[in-house]
Structure 1
Amino acid sequence: MNVQKLNVIMDTRMVDKHLHGIARYTYEIIKGMSFSNKVHMILLVNNLELSKEIFGQFNNIEFIKMKSKFLSLSEQLELPHIVNKYKGKAIFHSPSFVSSPFIKTKMIMTIHDLNHLRFPQYYSPFHKYYYKYIVKPSALKCEKIFTVSEFSKNEIVDWLKCDRNKVVVTYNGVDSRFKVIKDKNILLRVKEKYKLPDEFVLYIGNLKPHKNVETLVKAMSLVKDNTKLVINGKVNESLNKIINTYKLKDRINFIGYVDDDDLPIIYNLAEVFVFPSLYEGFGLPPLEAMACGCPTIVSNTSSLPEVVGDVGYKFDPNNYGKLGKLVNRSLNINYDINKLIERSSYFNWGKTYNETIKIYLSYKNMLFNQDY
């Protein structure tokens, strides 16, 4: 007997080979669905060849090529034009905040955080209007909204003034690549590749103002002299000013772009990982570090205490003095690596997939039995 599959249209135009952030979340959902005999995924893409390279090994998928780029005005015409053809035959899942209030097909949206609303000074007027006139009306039309933490759920409910049951928390997961690595040859190869010091504090993430990396740099002025700070990416003007003010030029290493395959090894090499962000809907790097057995310090704001639980140190993100003391303390104690790994293992993509498909399938009978 053939089982009638549920069609799920998913916008994947933001996915590239690096699979960071929303792209990673989207990829993992599709990967999980490829093993199901109950769901058929229809992926909206820009670059068909690249998308086939990324998703081609998965089952239960097909592609629809879109002309409109991700986060463009033209998508407000093209997206509904494509998706509305499936009214009564599919549900549409936007794994980011990108959607359209003109979509008439049953819709689910993932809103990872409300960063654009909390820090409007760091975004263009376009983002402000996009959230007001596109995201909010679309979210209110959705059957369900996924988000990645209880913190973000509370923010979204407050923003939309919607029923709490409309917003469902599905945590992000940690990729299996992030683990304790003991092979000395592998560790030495990556250490030499990035010219890493013998003892270092690590920060992985972007350098946007809300990431609060300036506080971490200031804190290094209080950390013992033989310990350096390693940051991915390149130094910017504001950080360079602080580095010079605190005379830290010889103690801060910017290592540029880090290859995805090398990232778990760098976590393994670090003495402690610090994530001083002012605002995170989830905050994946601390979990990646913990999965690699690296002691972790996070700011005590937004979702970060929820993510690291009681196995990571927390500090007021405006208090670089407290952060400096915590870094020194972390360098002088032996952590129970098993507790770090155990906490990180609570967050896995299998759980995310299971919770997602449960919501998908709750609309299956409604679609197949409804007259439009």
Structure 2
Amino acid sequence: MSLRIILSVEALEPRLSGIGRYSWELAQRLPHMDEVEAVRFYRNGEWIVDPATLLVDQGSGKRRNIVQRWLRKHSKWARNLRDASIMRSNLFHGPNYFLPPGGEGGVITVHDLSIFRYPETHPVERLRQFERYFRLSVERAGHIITDCETTRAEVADFLSIDPALVTAVPLAASPDFHPRTNDAIAPTLARYDLQPQGYALCVSTVEPRKRIAELLCAWEKLPPAVRNRWPLMVTGGAGWLSDAVQARMEKGGREGWVRYLGFVPDADLPLLYAGAALFVYPSVYEGFGLPPVEAMASGVPVVVANASCLPEVTGGAAMLVAPEDVDDFARRLEQALVDDGWRAQARADGLRVAARYSWDRCARETVEVYRKVR
């Protein structure tokens, strides 16, 4: 059976989020799948000819002039009729939780339930969007995709739906994340005043469920010789309720054992991973947890929280910790930094587990879901 697909691409923008990355990887691959006859791209009421244009920052040039805005406003009824007709003859996939009214019977991807579990970490506008449209999208959907089996079970239970209507399709690290020689990464690291194997890394939004506060407490408890040899680098956006954590990092920065790097350019991030002596991800709630997979693919030993889907996704390759037990967390971090036997095994296991995941596999298994619905 040949499939005609509409893929929503509203998450595509110059600085890709995790969902944006997922949407982009599907957008690149679906048109080339044997079972797929055609793919159209849809974004907030518009048809997009080339989704790659959404990745370019066009600044003020993106704005429509007055005539274009007037024509769009006054032709909305005609466009709605046209769009509904197109959607009825195609399978709509909303990779960012939602289906439009014309996407009845389509597929949505629910990456996690943090909007319901941790509403304080989301802006008010997003909470309102979910209140208005999420349940409607679930009711319209013919099938739901999640990023892992743990989230699949959680979503089926939360929504009180038949688990057979939910399928786990795992994400993957980009091929840019792979082991690299010290010579290959040294020039980039030098711009951050870093040396290969001379620091630990955490890539995460700074917000309560990520447990960065507990990580900082544990790092401060490390023996001075250990934490000074391997200062902690934290990179990622500043989320809600992060002021106290930011203040703690500023204090630790003055003392020399932690640095907050903020956002790191996409071109630099794989090299920053590859140069780390250890990657730490203490988040207690994830829908997949892509950063630990990126670290494993880079050949870096990984420590994650023994929570949510992280044990499943890391597949036995990572050291599991309870971030709230700060004393034990600190002991495990010291082991992960100095135990050469564990580190060698963690690198080998991590590369093996990360190799299970690929964006080609993700696209292939996504098309299998489409076939179930059609």
What secondary structure does 2:201 align onto? strand
Q: Which residue identity does 1:319 align to in structure 2?
A: D
Match of 2:367 among 328, 353, 357: 357
Distance 1:216 1:160, change over 3 A: same
**Could you tell me how far 1:36 is from its partner in structure 2?**
2.1
Q: Per-residue displacement from partner, 1:64-114 (whole Å, max 9, x unpaired)?
A: x9x99xxxxxxx9999766422244101110011334x3354311000000
Task: In structure 1, give the amino acid aligned to 2:333.
Answer: V
Using the TM superposition, give the Cα deviation of residue 263 of structure 1 relative to its aligned residue in structure 2, in angstroms: 1.4
- Identity among equivalent pairs (%): 23
Which residue pairs with 1:61 in the alignment? none
Deviation of 1:18 after TM superposition, in Å, equals 3.4
Write the letter of the residue equivalent to 2:139.
Answer: L
| Greater helix share, structure number | 2
| CA–CA distance in structure 1, aligned partners of residues 274 and 124 of structure 2 | 41
Q: Does 1:22 align with 2:19?
A: yes
1:263-315 deviations in Å (ceiling 9; x for gaps): 12111111110001121010000010011110000011111111112111111
Residues 8 and 90 in structure 1, CA contact (< 8 A), matched pair in contact too: yes
Q: TM-score, normalised to structure 2's length?
A: 0.83
Checking the alignment, whether the CA contact within 8 Å between 1:268 and 1:294 is kept in structure 2 is yes
* Matched residue type, 2:233: V
- Distance (Å, rounded) in 2 between the aligned partners of 1:238 and 1:296: 26
Which residue of 1 is the match for residue 293 of structure 2?
287
Q: State whether residues 145 and 167 of structure 2, in contact with CA within 8 Å, keep that contact through their aligned partners in structure 1.
A: yes
Report what 2:61 is aligned to.
none
Question: Does 1:92 find its partner at 2:92?
Answer: yes
In the alignment, structure 1 residue 274 sits paired with structure 2 residue 273: no
2:72 corresponds in structure 1 to none
Match of 1:44 in 2: 42
Change (3 A) 1:338 1:82: farther
Q: Does 1:239 align with 2:239?
A: no
Contact in 2 for aligned 1:112/1:282 (Cα 8 Å): yes
Which ranges in structure 1 are unaligned for 5 or more consecutive residues? Answer: 57-64, 69-75, 365-372
Give the conservation status (yes or no) of the 8 Å contact 1:22–1:96. yes
CA 1:82–1:128: 2 relative to 1, 3 Å: farther
**How far did residue 24 of structure 1 move?**
1.0
Give, in whole Å, the separation in 1 of the partners of 2:77 and 2:18.
26
Query: Partner residue of 2:233?
Result: 230
Q: In the TM superposition, what are the counterparts of 1:78-117 in structure 2 within 5 Å?
A: 83-100=83-100, 102-103=101-102, 105-117=104-116
Shift of 1:132: 3.4
CA contact (8 A) 1:15 1:26 kept: yes
Counterpart code for 1:150: E
Query: In 2, distance between residues paired with 1:159 and 1:193?
Result: 46
Give CA deviations for 1:7-51 in whole Å, capped at 9, x if unaligned: 211110211233330111111112221222432111013796983
With normalisation by structure 1, the TM-score equals: 0.83
Contact kept, 8 Å, 2:321 with 2:329, in 1: the verdict is yes
Q: Which residue of 1 aligns with 2:172?
A: 173
Superposed CA offset, 1:235-286 (max 9, x none): 7531143347779642111223212122121111111100011210100000
Structure 1 residue matching 2:41: 3-state secondary structure: strand
Structure 2 residue runs without a partner (length 5+): 57-63, 70-75
| Aligned pairs for 1:110-129 within 5 A | 110-129=109-128
Give the length in aligned residue pairs.
343
The CA RMSD over aligned residues, in Å, is: 3.0
Aligned to 1:343: 353
- 1:323 is matched with 329
Q: Which moved more, 1:116-125 or 1:206-215?
A: 116-125
Determine the C-alpha separation between the residues in 1 that align with 2:233 and 2:352: 26
Any residues of structure 2 matched to 1:151-170 within 5 Å, and which? 151-170=150-169
Find the counterpart in structure 2 of residue 144 from structure 1: 143
Task: Report the AA paired with residue 262 of structure 1.
Answer: D
Q: C-alpha separation between the residues in 1 aligned to 2:221 and 2:317?
A: 23
1:175 alignment partner, SS class: coil
* CA–CA distance in structure 1, aligned partners of residues 77 and 139 of structure 2: 19
User: Bigger shift: 324-333 or 190-199?
Assistant: 190-199
Looking at structure 2, the residues matched to 119 and 219 of structure 1 have their Cα atoms a distance apart, in angstroms, of 23
Amino acid at match of 1:192: A
Offset at residue 348 of structure 1 (A): 1.4
